[in-house]
Amino acid sequence: MLLADVLAASTAVTATRSRTAKAAAIATLLRAADPEEVVPVTGWLAGEPRQGRLGVGWRTLSRLGGGAADAPTLTVPEVDAALTELAGTTGAGSAARRDAVLGGLLAAATPEEHHFLVRLLTGELRQGALEGVVLDAVAAAADVPAAVVRRAFMLSGRLPETAALALTGGVAALAAVRLEVGRPVRPMLASPGSSLDAALADLGAEVTVEFKLDGARIQVHRDGDVVRVWTRSLREVTDGVPELVERIRALPCETAVLDGETLALDDDGRPRAFQDTMSRFGSDSADAGVLLSPFLFDVLHLDGRDLLDEPLAVRLDALAGLLADDAHAALRMPGMRRPTPEQAAGVLDDALTAGHEGVVVKALDAPYAAGRRGKAWQKVKPVHTLDLVVLGAEWGYGRRAGSLSNIHLGARDPDGGQPVMVGKTFKGMTDELLAWQTRTFPGHAAEQPDWGVRLRPELVVEIAVDGAQRSTRYPGGVALRFARVLRYRPDKSPAEADTIDAVRALLADGPTAD
């Protein structure tokens, strides 16, 4: 298969807003791929090489040039082999060798292929929002039920390998995928709830109401004395969080897969700033002065028993038994099962009083639906917040002259298109944040016009809003009301940003914004 065939399918996907049409274009390509081509092709269509991050920047690509071939000749195996060689080239003299590999690849590309490769290598092609479409396409191409594909993906966490299983082994190969201690599972996610009363009315009396912390999601696996920790994006951080490893190793079990959150607390037991928690997950060395505390709220496997398909009530019983000893009770996420409306309101008040974000209301009869943001878990916060993609920033004026200030905000297109702009804001920015934006944004710039920068869709920011209103100004037909910056979210990718549908759900009756 030629790279040009992949490019044609990618172009077709980008050109339509129809989820069905996107899936059909991808399915057609996957059917035509040879077995050894399925893994790289699926990864590219989802926007990420199977080799992961390759450490190639815009400056290097601009210096090397390329894209002058008259006709397409590059094949999928050739490109994949070059990327594998690029990923494995390290040590003395590696910069020159990497330039040679990359330069040779780009020189053999047509202008269109060159543009595709540049976006793939720099992460600009990454469209995690397309993930669901690719899964539908895999199911169609392999003629297997979509639910079977999704479950195998949930348990393996690897989309390209799931596609290869489906296309080479069908239902039997997909059904053989099991939860493995030591291999992270995609986390179950909560949908935004409009209010506590609404969430309780939606889910009924058979619920648990738990604190919603302002921390980082963690998944912890234990196999004997071996403990490993992953973030919500399935990035392993075990070596950087020894205090979490020690706490889990002390639990009375041999094997376990645990879900929870972690955050830094001050001497009074109140949460420290979110940035303090995230300082332990950055690329720099861990901040020895910031200790993390784990709070567990689910168990997916315990001592040889898989619990994924069990109702939450059963999983909570297993977790309660594991943490029954007084020495481990503090690891349990605070909350209450089957509360009355008054008691649920009390849990929310307690969470807010303790400095946390709010609560999560969970249906006790729900299995663990990894990777899906369904209605079985609903997070309730007193202030509406959205995780949005930063699309650009304008130079400030007055006391903000010389700083990149007013940021352009985009919501995720659930069908895999480019983020949809929903507003701008310069509110809530400290001097330190302005300085950080001005220093950081040029490194993510796709274009630098006179008014500021247009950014590649790579940065996620958490925004507080008072709601939304209908608008003819923005392509999504909706605009944010009184948006202000809370913080940037280095723990989230654009694939995890809130969708345009989530913004529209905040629409209130009222005048249309021009």
Q: What is the DSSP letter of 2?
A: B
Catalytic site residues?
212
How far apart CA 193 and CA 171 sit, in angstroms, is 36
The answer to whether 376 and 362 have CB atoms below 8 angstroms apart is yes
Residue 150, Cα to own-chain centre: how many angstroms? 17
CB atoms within 10 A of CB 230: 20
Name the residue with tokens 């172009």: 11
Tell me how far apart the terminal alpha carbons of the chain are, to the nearest angstrom.
Answer: 49
Name the residue with tokens 């980008």: 14
Q: What DSSP string runs through 230-246? A: EETT--B-GGG-HHHHH
CA distances from 148 to 139, 142, 172, 312, 325 (A): 8, 11, 10, 21, 39
The DSSP element (H or E) to which 500 belongs, if any, is helix 500-504
For 27, how many CA atoms within 13 A lie in the half-sphere containing its CB?
19
CA distances from 326 to 208, 210, 222, 263, 270 (A): 22, 20, 21, 21, 21
- In three-state secondary structure terms, 248 is helix
Name the residue with tokens 């008259």: 70
Tokens matching residue 405 = 């200030």
Q: What is the DSSP letter of 215?
A: S
- In three-state secondary structure terms, 324 is coil
The answer to whether 387 and 443 have CB atoms below 8 angstroms apart is no
Which residue, among 267, 317, 316, has the nearest Cα to 293 in the 3D structure? 267
How far apart CA 108 and CA 157 sit, in angstroms, is 33
The answer to whether 227 and 220 have CB atoms below 8 angstroms apart is yes
How far apart CA 165 and CA 35 sit, in angstroms, is 10
